[in-house]
């Protein structure tokens, strides 16, 4: 195997992804892309769909 392939096999997949994202980010900045703001949100409906039935199950087990 080429030395680059051997080095890639030794790296953690998350490290490889981080390097690739960094490379893509640098390319985008070099081509004039504007800086953006990183933000995240919670998926409240998905959480409620899991937590409400779980709470109901716990209450049913405790009180029945």
- Per residue in 1-49, pLDDT tens? 788 888 878 888 898 899 899 999 899 888 888 877 778 899 999 999 9
Quote the pLDDT of residue 50.
96
Quote the pLDDT of residue 36.
77
Neighbours of 8 (CB within 10 A): 14
Distance, CA of 12 to CA of 24 (rounded, Å): 19
Cβ neighbours of residue 8 under 8 Å, at least 6 residues apart?
16
| Percentage of the chain lying above the pLDDT 70 cut | 100
Quote the pLDDT of residue 25.
87
């Amino acid at each position: 195997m080429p030395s680059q392939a051997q080095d890639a096999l030794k790296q953690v997949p998350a490290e490889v992804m981080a390097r690739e994202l960094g490379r893509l980010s640098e390319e985008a900045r070099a081509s004039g892309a504007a800086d953006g703001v990183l933000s995240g949100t919670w998926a409240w409906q998905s959480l409620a769909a899991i937590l409400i039935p779980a709470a109901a199950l716990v209450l049913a087990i405790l009180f029945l």
